[in-house]
Structure 1
Amino acid sequence: MAAPKFAPNGAREDKFYSSPDVVPDAWTPDRPGVVDGLQPVGSRMGAMGPDQGFALTIANKLAPKLRLADGERLDDAIRGGVVIALRRASLFSRAPVVHDLDIAFTIWGFYDEQPPAELLARRAELFEGVGNVNHHYAEGRKIADLVPESTLRLTPAAAAAAYPADWRSLTGA
């Protein structure tokens, strides 16, 4: 690539970079926000994992497949599914994938045209308003924490095979 006409020709004598005279000490986790060891576990702590926002992108692409009952809101269903999916993804120490959301939506009957009446009642009780993250964080955590770890470790096919006969144990409800 040609240099502009105003650029000086020939070698430059001044340096652009030089190493510091002193090498700094090694980094240590001494800042207040640094977690030393494993992530803490407790009420309202959530499930840590990489790229968690991607779960919303996946959920929005799955939204046309969701079957909502009268009075249910799409944002509540998506938020409820996302918190379950994020918990499942964190069990495997990875970012969320479509299978995490498939399991969440399957066990709560969001893919079913006619889910059991008891499931609809329980879903209405738990999912109402959780789409409003600012005011219903605890309710979203409750949905995620209800689902047993054994359900989260299932494959999507195994979860679909167990639903609807065994929805109570799949959801923890």
Structure 2
Amino acid sequence: MGGGTGTLIRPATPSDHEAIWTILEPVYRAGETYCIPPDIARDEALADWFAAPFTVFVAELDGRVLGTSHVGRNRPGPAAHVANASFATHPDARGRGIAGRLVAHAKDWARAQGFRAMQFNFVVSTNADAVHSWQKAGFDIVGRLPGAFLHPRHGYVDALVMFHDLTKGNEP
């Protein structure tokens, strides 16, 4: 499955663990975007990233893993038709469209699995690049959680709930 010209998006394998950790570690250590302890151990972080009900993917460009996503159901039972996803890219991938390709792939994959919508439960409001990217990909801000995230530089900041109806096709 390709995410765009020159980029291959494929299911992750155990041989991708080191590349995925190389991507996740600086993001987690910064403590600015994920509700993950900044000092999380490698094995614990990878176990969380690969935990059910999520399927993990990597984005490769020229044979190098530059991004990762995990996609799966947001909640079980009567809400099982709503997907959730998380994304991270290597610093070398910034501005190269990798995140956008991962999001398009996640939407296509979720739709193919029978999901009717995708929801991001906790987008840190100060993560302007992500908020812009997700809006560009067709996600709407449907909720705001005041002061829900303790940012290491900005103090308590809002978290956003973002939502996209997958039944409307692949348009943003």
The structure with higher relative contact order (CA 8 Å, sep 6+) is: 1
TM-score (norm 1): 0.27
Q: Which one has a larger percent strand, Structure 1 or Structure 2?
A: 2
Q: Which one has a larger percent helix, Structure 1 or Structure 2?
A: 1
Answer with 1 or 2: which has the greater Rg: 1
